[in-house]
């Protein structure tokens, strides 16, 4: 076990049978909820990916969820994320994808480029450039082979404290990503602010996403919806819901 407050990921721990049962029940309930949301929206449930957000939860939970059929996980900060991704990949042969969904700090861009399959939270040119340098470095070091897929995080209400590019700057940032070697622009990501209903924000988000896709036809991924608002997001076209609390429970205060 790691000491409380240390940010090492204990690689040898295995989830207890009780924890696996708890995760399994919550995962089933979330899958049913997602399928119902898709049906209500007249959409194919297979068109909406479930990204399980495992930030602050231990690698043992990720391995358990991988065994339960989950394939894609979201993490939000270094160095917890990189260590956990390495621990999981060392312990399971199953194909697994890790997405960075938290604000990327410039000095950590290279470490993110070593483990992330997709960065969902690109919101400024300096981060685009830092990630591109990180991809090159990771390639030189033999830590990655492919280009890095990115989504642009769109800030819906102009309160940039939670990250995201303001809507007026979306087009310029998208063009910059598209011109950058080593990165592939795949779409957009949003977090609905607490003001107004989720439906209101998801409608706005879908309009901005449509604007992005009109200019960049490959940028079709629309990451929207979390534990509290996935139904609204699916109704407005989300292709990826990011669910943490509904599957893993409340997050521990400290990183494992
Ligand atoms: C933590 C987080 C989530 C998951 O939120 P829940 O409410 O726990 O489902 C989704 N997206 C982002 C960007 C997050 O940081």
Q: Specify the pLDDT at position 8.
A: 46
pLDDT tens-digit series, residues 74-114: 999 999 999 999 999 999 999 999 999 999 999 999 999 99
Residue 185 has pLDDT above 80, yes or no: yes
58-68: b or e for each residue (b if 16 or more CB lie within 10 Å)?
bbbbbbbbbee
Computed over every residue of the chain, the mean pLDDT equals 94
Q: Is 249 in the pocket of ligand 1 (CB under 6 A)?
A: no
Q: Specify the pLDDT at position 251.
A: 87
Residue whose CA is closest, atom 12 of ligand 1? Answer: 101
- The CA 223 to ligand 1 mean position distance, Å, reads 11
Axis crossing angle, helix 125-140 with helix 170-178, rounded to the nearest 10: 20
- The CA 99 to ligand 1 mean position distance, Å, reads 12
Residue 176 has pLDDT above 90, yes or no: yes
Residue 166 token pair: 């303001």
Residue 16 has pLDDT above 80, yes or no: yes
- The CA 22 to ligand 1 mean position distance, Å, reads 19
**Atom from ligand 1 closest to the CA of residue 247:** 9
Between residues 27 and 10, the one the model is more confident about = 27
User: CA–CA distance from 163 to each of 7, 190, 191, 193, 216 (Å)?
Assistant: 24, 10, 9, 11, 22
Q: Specify the pLDDT at position 256.
A: 52
- The CA 142 to ligand 1 mean position distance, Å, reads 31
Q: Is 226 in the pocket of ligand 1 (CB under 6 A)?
A: yes
Question: What's the DSSP call for residue 160?
Answer: G
The pTM assigned to this predicted structure is 0.94
pLDDT band at 13 (very low <50, low <70, confident <90, very high): confident
- Whether cis (ω within 30° of 0) applies to the bond prior to 79 is yes
Q: Is 251 in the pocket of ligand 1 (CB under 6 A)?
A: no
Find residue 190's DSSP bridge partners: 154
Q: Is 187 in the pocket of ligand 1 (CB under 6 A)?
A: no
Angle subtended at Cα 112 by Cα 107 and Cα 116, rounded to the nearest 5 degrees? 165
């Amino acid at each position: 076990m790691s000491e409380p407050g240390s940010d090492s990921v204990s690689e040898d721990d295995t989830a207890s049978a009780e924890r696996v049962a708890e995760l399994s029940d919550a995962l089933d309930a979330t899958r049913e909820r997602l399928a119902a949301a898709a049906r209500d929206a007249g959409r194919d449930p297979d068109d909406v990916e479930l990204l399980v957000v495992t930030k602050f939860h231990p690698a043992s939970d990720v391995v358990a969820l991988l065994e339960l059929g989950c394939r894609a996980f979201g993490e939000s900060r270094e160095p917890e994320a990189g260590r956990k991704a390495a621990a999981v990949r060392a312990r399971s042969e199953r194909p697994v994808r890790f997405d960075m969904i938290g604000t990327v700090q410039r000095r950590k861009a290279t470490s993110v480029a070593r483990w992330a399959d997709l960065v969902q939270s690109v919101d400024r040119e300096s981060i685009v450039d830092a990630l591109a340098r990180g991809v090159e470095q990771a390639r030189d070091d033999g830590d990655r082979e492919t280009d890095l897929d990115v989504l642009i995080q769109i800030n819906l209400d102009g309160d940039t404290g939670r990250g995201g590019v303001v809507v007026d700057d979306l087009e310029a940032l998208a063009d910059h990503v598209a011109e950058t070697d080593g990165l592939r622009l795949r779409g957009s990501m949003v977090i609905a602010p607490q003001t107004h209903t989720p439906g209101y924000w998801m409608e706005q988000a879908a309009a901005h996403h449509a604007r992005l896709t009109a200019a960049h036809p490959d940028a079709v991924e629309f990451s929207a919806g979390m534990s509290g608002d996935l139904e609204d997001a699916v109704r407005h076209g989300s292709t990826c819901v990011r669910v943490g609390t509904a599957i893993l429970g409340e997050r521990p205060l400290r990183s494992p």
